[in-house]
C-alpha cells in the first residue's frame, strides 16, 4: 500500500527530515475510530494526546499515521532531566566558534514534521511549557537565546503520549498544557485483535498467541492487587518471540512477563500460577 497524503498539499520533504520519513507501512491493527479521529485533528491542526497504558500501541499508531499521511515523524522520549534546550536547541562550540543547533521540536516546527513527545508527563512542567506557543493559534516558537521567532511550517503537528496510570500529584501535566490538546483513548486491544497482533509481530501461530493473551488478561486482573499495570502487548510479543527460539512457553512467560513486571515474591507467585493455567 502506498502512503496516502490526501490531506495536505503534496510537499517535498527537506533533506534534513529524510531520515525521519517512514518508508514502509508500519503494521497497525485499529481497534476503533482512532485513524479517522487522528486524521480529523490533523486536518484541523489540533494537537493530539494519545492516552493509554504502556505498550498498548500508541507509538505504533503514530508511526502508522505518519506513514499514512506521508509526513516525517520526529520522536522525543521525554524524561525528567530533559530541559527546554533539549527540545528547542542550543549554541554549541565548534572549530569556528559557537553555532546554533535546532533541537527536535524546532526542527519539526521549522521544516514541517509531526513532532511526537512520548510519555510527556515524564518531563518537568517547566520544560513542557515551551510547546504552548506552538499548540495554540499562534503556531510560533520564540528562540530567546537566538533572538528569533520560528513560525511553524504548515505541516507541523504536535502529538504527545500520556499514560494516565503514571499520573501523580508530582507528575502530571499543567492544566494549561492539557487544555491545548484533543485526546484519543487507547487500551489493550480485545482478545482476538491482540492475538492477531502477537501472531503477526512475533511470527507465531494463533494458538500460542491466544494463550499469551489469556496470560495477559489474568495479569491485568492483578492490577491494583500488587501490580500497577498488567502485561502489555509488547511483553506478549517478547514472550512469543522467545518461544520461536525454542524456549518453552512457561519459561518464556517468566522471562518476558513475570520477572520484569514485579519484584514482589507473592505477586510473582500469583502471576506464575496464573500463567500455568493458561496452557
The CA distance from 49 to 106, in Å, is 19
Choices 22-30, 33-41, 89-97, 251-259 (CB under 6 A): range interacting with ligand ADP: 22-30
Q: Nearer Cβ to ligand ADP, position 29 or 124?
A: 29
Which residues 109-168 are close enough to bind ligand ADP by CB under 6 A? Answer: 161
Choose one: 34-42, 54-62, 95-103, 248-256; the region binding ligand ADP (CB under 6 A).
54-62
Beta strands in the chain (DSSP E): 48-51, 73-77, 89-94, 97-102, 114-118, 140-143, 148-151, 157-162, 182-185
Site string for ligand ADP, 184-223 (x = CB under 6 A): -----x-------x---x----------------------
28 part of the interface to ligand ADP, by CB under 6 A: yes
Sheet holding 182-185, edge to edge: 73-77, 114-118, 157-162, 48-51, 182-185
Cα dist from 277 to 118, 183, 250, 271, whole Å: 36, 38, 10, 10
Grid cell locating 196: 492477531
Q: What is the DSSP string of 11-25?
A: -PPPGGGGGG---SP
Q: Closest CB to ligand ADP belongs to which residue? A: 57
Closest CA to 26 of 3, 7, 51: 3
Cell 504552548 locates to 132
Cα separation, 209 vs 197, whole angstroms: 8
Question: Rule CB under 6 A: is residue 241 a binding residue for ligand ADP?
Answer: no
Q: Are 221 and 54 in contact (CB under 8 A)?
A: no
Rule CB under 6 A: say whether 34 interacts with ligand ADP: no
In the list 47, 57, 89, 104, the residue contacting ligand ADP (rule: CB under 6 A) is: 57
Give the residue with the Cβ less far from ligand ADP, 30 or 273. Answer: 30
The region of 3-11, 48-56, 213-221, 266-274 touching ligand ADP under the rule CB under 6 A is 48-56
Total site size for ligand ADP, rule CB under 6 A: 18
Q: CB of residue 201 vs ligand ADP: minimum separation in angstroms?
A: 4
Nearer to ligand ADP, 55 or 70 (CB): 55
59 binds ligand ADP (CB under 6 A): yes
Please report, as ranges, the residues that interact with ligand ADP according to CB under 6 A.
27-29, 52, 54-60, 161, 189, 197, 201, 233-234, 237
Amino acid at each position: 500500500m502506498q502512503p496516502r497524503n490526501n490531506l495536505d498539499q503534496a510537499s517535498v520533504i527537506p533533506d534534513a527530515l529524510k531520515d525521519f520519513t517512514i518508508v514502509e507501512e508500519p503494521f497497525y491493527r485499529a481497534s476503533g475510530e482512532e485513524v479517522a479521529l487522528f486524521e480529523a485533528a490533523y486536518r484541523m491542526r489540533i494537537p493530539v494526546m494519545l492516552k493509554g497504558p504502556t505498550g498498548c500501541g500508541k507509538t505504533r499508531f503514530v508511526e502508522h499515521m505518519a506513514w499514512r499521511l506521508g509526513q516525517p515523524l520526529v520522536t522525543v522520549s521525554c524524561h525528567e532531566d530533559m530541559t527546554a534546550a533539549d527540545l528547542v536547541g542550543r549554541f554549541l562550540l565548534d572549530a569556528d566558534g559557537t553555532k546554533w543547533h535546532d533541537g527536535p521540536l524546532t526542527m519539526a516546527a521549522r521544516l514541517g514534521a509531526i513532532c511526537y513527545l512520548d510519555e510527556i508527563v515524564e518531563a518537568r512542567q517547566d520544560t513542557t511549557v515551551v510547546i504552548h506557543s506552538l499548540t495554540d493559534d499562534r503556531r510560533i516558537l520564540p528562540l530567546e537565546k537566538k533572538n528569533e521567532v520560528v513560525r511553524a511550517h504548515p505541516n507541523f503537528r504536535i502529538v504527545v503520549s500520556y499514560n494516565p496510570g503514571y499520573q501523580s500529584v508530582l507528575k502530571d501535566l499543567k492544566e494549561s498544557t492539557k487544555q491545548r490538546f484533543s485526546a484519543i483513548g487507547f487500551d489493550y486491544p480485545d482478545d482476538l485483535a491482540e492475538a492477531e497482533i502477537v501472531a503477526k509481530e512475533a511470527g507465531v501461530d494463533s494458538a500460542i498467541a491466544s494463550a499469551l493473551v489469556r496470560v495477559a488478561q489474568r495479569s491485568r486482573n492483578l492490577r491494583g492487587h500488587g501490580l500497577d499495570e498488567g502485561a502489555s502487548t509488547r511483553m506478549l510479543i517478547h514472550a512469543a518471540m522467545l518461544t520461536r527460539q525454542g524456549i518453552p512457553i512457561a519459561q518464556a512467560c517468566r522471562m518476558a512477563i513475570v520477572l520484569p513486571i514485579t519484584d514482589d515474591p507473592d505477586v510473582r507467585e500469583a502471576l506464575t500460577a496464573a500463567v500455568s493455567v493458561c496452557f
